[in-house]
Amino acid sequence: MEITFYKYQGTGNDFVMIDDRSESFEVTDLALISKLCDRKFGVGADGLILIRNHQDYDFEMIYFNADGSQSMCGNGARCAVAFSAFLGIVKDQTTFLAIDGKHEAVLENGLVQLLMGEVDGIESRQEDFFVNTGSPHHIRLVEKVSDYPVFAEGKSVRYDASYAPGGTNVNFVEPIAEDEIFVRTYERGVEDETLSCGTGVTAAALVYGKDQDAAEIKINTLGGKLSVKFNSKPEGGYSDIWLIGPAEQVFKGQIII
Ligand SMILES: N[C@@H](CCC[C@H](N)C(=O)O)C(=O)O
């Protein structure tokens, strides 16, 4: 059996992308998903995304981490929007469904702007913070993030008993300017540092800009630049949270099973 796949990357967060409007991909085959994402034995990717039809939305994005677990993926969603435009399912704007609910997106000037779900608030955890942006994110502000032991510290926080059993993603954030940060992320489900994490940089931007009414934070990651815009709600929490950045198709191939 052969499955046509495409490979997409969004600031270096990379995904195997499959047009599964026929619903022929076996979503319970987690061994296949993790094999396809394996960088030695498969295509290699941080995650795998299926695009399916949905009666109430332009499409549904079904996202799997490299280990087969599921959560919301911000960069993956931006890539899924670009892929859906490539397939002719959408044009320059869309409303689609992901695991955390409805999202809107706009394609403009080569960038995908993704409306994230509203965030209720930011939890303080001693010196650090926790935010759920569709996926769970621990945020730690650090100096000199380029020298920070992201893998070792990230893994330790990811498996901290206080986050059991689901665990958390872990982001290390260096302030660069009043409206700019550098973010490095240890991702659960990949169990490694990735070059960029969309839900993670969104959480980091909320923590960094939390005291501003309306903010736009520029984000640097190892894989490129993103930006996050949001409004602080007077009653608490955050709305109109937009994650903005590039999403690129890098190749096409056939998976042979
Ligand atoms: N890379 C993603 C986040 C993917 C989900 C995460 N690993 C989790 O399991 O929570 C992004 O761009 O948001």
Q: Which domains does the chain have, with CATH numbers?
A: 2-116+247-256 (3.10.310.10), 123-236 (3.10.310.10)
At residue 143 the predicted structure's pLDDT band, cuts being 50, 70 and 90, is very high
Nearest CA to 221 out of 201, 235, 206 is that of 201
pTM above 0.80, yes or no: yes
Model pLDDT, residue 62 = 98
Question: What ipTM describes this predicted complex?
Answer: 0.96
Going by the annotation, the residues of the binding site for substrate are: 13, 65, 74-75, 169, 187-188, 198-199
Could you read off the pLDDT of 61-109 as tens digits, one per residue? 999 999 999 999 999 999 999 999 999 999 999 999 999 999 999 999 9
The pLDDT of residue 220 is above 80: yes
Residue 136, preceding bond cis, omega within 30 degrees? no
Q: Check if the beta carbon of residue 127 is closer than 8 Å to that of residue 114.
A: no
At residue 199 the predicted structure's pLDDT band, cuts being 50, 70 and 90, is very high
Strand partners, 183: 173
In the structure, which protein residues have their CB atom closer than 6 angstroms to any atom of ligand 1?
A: 13, 65, 69, 71, 73-76, 135, 169, 187-190, 194, 197-199
Return all residues near 40 (Cβ < 8 A) that are at least 6 apart. none
Say what percent of the chain tops pLDDT 90: 96
Q: Check if the beta carbon of residue 172 is closer than 8 Å to that of residue 183.
A: yes
* Phi, psi for residue 150 in degrees, rounded to 5: -60, -45
Dist. CA 155 → ligand 1 center (Å):
15
Could you read off the pLDDT of 10-53 as tens digits, one per residue? 999 999 999 999 999 999 999 999 999 999 999 999 999 999 99
